[in-house]
Amino acid sequence: MLVALPSAIAFGVLVYSAIDPGLAGEGALVGMIGAAALGITAPLVGRTPALITAPCAPAAAILSGLAITLVQGGIDMARIPGLLALTALLSSGLQIIYGLIKGGRLIKYIPYPVVSGYLSGVGLIIAIGQLPKLLGLPEDQGLMQGILEVTDWQWPGIVVGVVTIIVMVLAPRITKIIPAAILALAAGIISYFILGIFNPVMMTLSGNDLIIGPIQSSASFTDTVSGRFSSVLQISMEDLKMVIYSAMALSVLLSIDTLKTCVVLDALTKNRHNSNRELFGQGIANLASFVSGGMAGAGTMGPTLVNVTSGGRKPASGIAEGIMVILAILVLSPLIVWVPIAALAGILLVVAFNMFEWSAFGLLKHKETRFDFAVIAAVVIVAETMGLIQASATGIGLAILLFIRDQIRGSVLRRKFTLCEISSKTHRLESEREILKSNGEDAAVIDLQGNLFFGTTDQLFTELDEDLKTRKWLLFDLRRVQSLDYTAAHLFTLMEERLDERGGDLLFCGLPSTLHSRQDLYKYMKRVGLISDSGIGIRIFETRDSAIEWMENQILEEHGWLNTSIDPALNLADIELLRQLDNETIDSLNNCINEMTVKPGEKIFSQGDEGDEIFLLRRGVVRILLPLRGGKYHHLATFSRGDYFGEMAFLDKGTRSADAIAKTECELYVLSRKEFNQ
């Protein structure tokens, strides 16, 4: 509470002073009420242990910036507090929606350079807004002009502010028992009263612009609450247009600030927060703050860290903090009128200094990190020159660029092989192997990875341009692909058309049915017209091996090879293993060989069977499969017409190590070792 309350007062004064310096007292009350409402409600709903929710710097920056814009736009000052409250109301509603639609994960994925630039911009805005208050400049005087006009400076306020800053900076190095904000505020108040001994004017409340001053009766709790409800009843479309973008920016920034604090908190407490529930809780807490007449806020780092280091480990500690704020309001309100504006300005200047990402300048040292620095700088510059709303839009655009940059740094093309370097599990005869070796460059297998979208497809097309000119068949293995968009689908269509012009084909294998992104590639490809049930166009294969086997068959057919599954059965002398034998030996073998016919799907032998036969394939295709748990199989090899299998049992008479299953109708010669020996 001792950390949250002074900051809440400072932020409230910052926002309402932007409307009119005379509203500083009302701003202090709004900040205090916000600290109480947020502190009690957020732990009850969000349930993140030890998290402290209170008014924060991002909320102060956005709301004060909006207040300045509304004042400059000629809006009646009496309406501006209601518009600020409307902004907070819309922001709380958006946070509730973020939680309900499980947007916590998305918000956490905003690139850090964007967040860093935004927070640095907020810090710079706060610093620029507080320097005039530190110097005691007139409200209508610009900062640059005020800095040059030394005669306009109010030295008592400057002394108080400097003392506050020094204590705020040095206090953490001396003690961590008492929060730095409390020591700094106490030092500022003490220095103010010491100066007041020598300057009696400082000891008066009336017309004293160096202190917060009396909290006006119109800013009482009851009046503030009733004013909030009446402002909701008077909402118009014009009001919504004026504040909607600020509300969106506020909701996102408060959510980021909260989730960032939660991540740090998880590391300290060894817990795991529920980001979606916490966002919902933050939205409810900000709604409660609106209803009670308080200021919007978020889970804040400073009070949370103090809570944890003091032993707070449960949501009850956050509730206790909120209750203590109420007690402090009831007891300390008469003293708050004497809080020096310069002291609050000093605290906010240190907060702003700490918010600024000074380490970002180190990114300039390395070529690969300069773009990250450019992102931070761009968001900061837009925030200062155009506003936080425009900076948020810039940040979103740059976040997209950062994603594209990270994707195109590494190619989506993982590996590429021709059929000279890789082959299917189908055992080929020597004559077939020679054909494939001579013409394997006609086909290639390409492993893809990552996200296939508009940012990576052009690079992929460039890398494969030469292959599209020289090869007839391209197989894309999509097992490691995470997502695919319409641009990538269009690219594959162009590739298929170019290959088709040369009499070739484009093939896919390894399509994952369910990805982490929840995208089903097969269904998506059908919806965008990339593949069809008719079989026309891109060919889809269940396995990589079956696709490679198909491409091998295409090359072999182009060079006079006949389909082994429908060709006439071979005689014994035509089996490749026996071609070098003379007629006498062939005749001898014929006397001890049996013939066997197997239908598709039937087993020739099973794993564990006893046997000493070798099988010579006269016609058909046989697959060798290794049984796995759950009724699954691992494909070891495929044998076709003219080949042989089962040779290990023929040599050692051991048990079969796998299953042999006919893929097509097969005719076989069966030669047992026993009959061969005889």
In tens, the pLDDT along 517-546 reads: 555 777 888 888 888 766 667 898 988 999
Distance CA 394, CA 389 (A): 9
pLDDT > 70? residue 410: no
pLDDT > 80? residue 231: no
Q: Which amino acid is at 156?
A: P
The least confident of 119-123, 324-328, 514-518, 584-588 is 514-518
Mean pLDDT score of the chain: 86
Distance CA 141, CA 149 (A): 10
Domain 572-677: assigned CATH number: 2.60.120.10
User: Which pLDDT does position 613 carry in this prediction?
Assistant: 94
User: Which pLDDT does position 389 carry in this prediction?
Assistant: 65
Strand partners, 672: 613
Per-residue b or e along 465-503, where b marks 16 or more CB atoms closer than 10 Å to that residue's CB: eebbeebbbbbbbbeebbbbbeebbebbbebbebbeeee
User: Which pLDDT does position 309 carry in this prediction?
Assistant: 66
Integer CA distances (angstroms), 325 to 29, 191, 320, 541, in order: 12, 25, 9, 67
User: Which pLDDT does position 602 carry in this prediction?
Assistant: 96
User: Which pLDDT does position 140 carry in this prediction?
Assistant: 67
In the chain, count of helices (H) and strands (E)?
26, 16
Work out the average pLDDT over 588-609: 93
SS (H, E, C) 443-461: EEEEEEEEEECCCCHHHHH
Band of residue 110 on the pLDDT scale cut at 50, 70, 90: low
DSSP states along 495-507: HHHHHHHTT-EEE
Alpha helices per DSSP H over 104-220: 104-108, 112-135, 143-148, 155-174, 180-198
Burial class of 388 by CB neighbour count within 10 A (0 to 12, 13 to 18, 19+):
buried
User: Which pLDDT does position 549 carry in this prediction?
Assistant: 92
Band of residue 600 on the pLDDT scale cut at 50, 70, 90: very high
Full-prediction pTM beyond 0.75? no
Q: What is the pLDDT of residues 480-507, one digit of tens each?
A: 888 888 888 899 999 999 999 989 999 9
Give the residue among 40, 48, 83, 33 at the shortest CA–CA distance from 62.
83
Cβ atoms of residues 678 and 633 within 8 Å: no
Give residue 607's region: left, alpha or beta (phi > 0; psi -120 to 50): beta
| Percentage with pLDDT > 90 across the chain | 42
Q: What is the pLDDT of residues 17-57, one digit of tens each?
A: 889 888 888 888 899 999 999 999 999 999 999 999 999 98
User: Which pLDDT does position 589 carry in this prediction?
Assistant: 92
User: Which pLDDT does position 218 carry in this prediction?
Assistant: 47
H or E stretch at 581: none
Work out the average pLDDT over 259-278: 84
Band of residue 615 on the pLDDT scale cut at 50, 70, 90: very high
Integer CA distances (angstroms), 16 to 26, 77, 229, 334, in order: 7, 11, 19, 19
Distance CA 534, CA 483 (A): 25
pLDDT > 70? residue 669: yes
Band of residue 219 on the pLDDT scale cut at 50, 70, 90: very low
Domain range list for the chain: 4-134+146-403, 411-558, 572-677
Per-residue b or e along 86-100, where b marks 16 or more CB atoms closer than 10 Å to that residue's CB: bbbbbbbbbbbebbe
**Percent helix, strand and coil across the chain, each rounded to 5?**
60, 15, 25
Per-residue b or e along 325-346, where b marks 16 or more CB atoms closer than 10 Å to that residue's CB: bbebbeeeeeebbbbbbbbbbb
Cβ atoms of residues 566 and 622 within 8 Å: no
- The encoded tokens of residue 621 equal 């295709």
Work out the average pLDDT over 107-121: 74
pLDDT > 80? residue 298: yes
The least confident of 5-19, 361-375, 588-602 is 361-375
CA pseudo-torsion sign 296, 273, 393, 143: positive
Cβ contacts of residue 314 below 8 Å, gap of 6+?
49, 50
State residue 155 phi and psi, 5-degree precision: -65, -35
Domain 411-558: assigned CATH number: 3.30.750.24
**Is pLDDT larger for residue 328 or for residue 602?**
602
pLDDT > 50? residue 424: yes
The least confident of 70-79, 528-537, 615-624, 626-635 is 528-537
